[in-house]
Amino acid sequence: MNPEIDIWVVSILLITVLVLLMTEKITVDRTAIGIMVILALTGILTPEEVVTGFANSAVITVAAMFLISQGLIRTGAVSFISASVVRFSKQKHWLGFFIILIIVGVTSAFINNTPVVVLFIPIVMSLSCDFDFSPSKMLIPISYISILAGTCT
């Protein structure tokens, strides 16, 4: 194709994707897959270029961690951990939060940070419901403690 036409096609697709992501008319995963298919069908990207990102081990690791995370939710492990932290902290949310930070820190010292944070997101969400406060107050500190502890490896 003509490079000038490619620029226009990509610009229109970029604007379309931004609108779809902001309005959430189509889910994020479908939007991402759709844009890859359109770029391949228009010839802007080769099929090899489209699927290159899936060969990256980091992408596969994060995808696997989301699957494991969902498995932990469905088996009740998240509920068990959350209930144990709530019971141990005796309804003091700061103590429960501290316990989670310690667990995340120790785990991140030996395992990659991203999977640790992904695994603890459902636990934090469950704890925020149990303690009745915003999960955002725990998610950023957990990310930071994971990064800090991850420097040990």
Task: Find the mean pLDDT for residues 66-74.
Answer: 81
Q: % helix / strand / coil in the chain, to the nearest 5? A: 80, 0, 20
Query: By the 8 A CB rule, do 84 and 137 touch?
Result: no
pLDDT number for residue 153: 66
Pair of tokens at residue 76: 């009740």
- Which structural domain, as residue segments, surrounds residue 71? 57-150
In this prediction the pTM is 0.59
Do both 61 and 93 map to the same domain?
yes
Task: Find the mean pLDDT for residues 43-66.
Answer: 83
Whole-number mean pLDDT of the chain?
86
pLDDT number for residue 146: 93
Nearest to 128 by CA among 120, 117, 136: 136
Give pLDDT tens digits for 81-131.
888 887 888 778 788 889 889 989 998 888 888 878 888 888 888 888 877
Q: E strands, the chain, where?
A: none
Give pLDDT tens digits for 22-45.
998 898 889 988 999 999 999 999
Radius of gyration of the chain (CA): 20
Do both 143 and 69 map to the same domain?
yes
Pair of tokens at residue 132: 């009745």
Please state, in angstroms and rounded to a whole number, the distance separating the CA atoms of residues 116 and 143: 9
| pLDDT greater at residue 7 or residue 70 | 7
**pLDDT exceeds cutoff 80 at 78:** no
Do both 49 and 107 map to the same domain?
no
Do both 82 and 145 map to the same domain?
yes
Task: Find the mean pLDDT for residues 64-69.
Answer: 80
Q: Packing angle between helix 136-150 and helix 113-131, nearest 10 degrees?
A: 150
Return the C-alpha torsion angle 84, 87, 93, 99, nearest 10: -40
Do both 136 and 125 map to the same domain?
yes
| pLDDT greater at residue 67 or residue 8 | 8
SS3 at position 76: coil
Do both 109 and 121 map to the same domain?
yes
Nearest to 135 by CA among 117, 123, 149: 123
Please state, in angstroms and rounded to a whole number, the distance separating the CA atoms of residues 123 and 119: 8
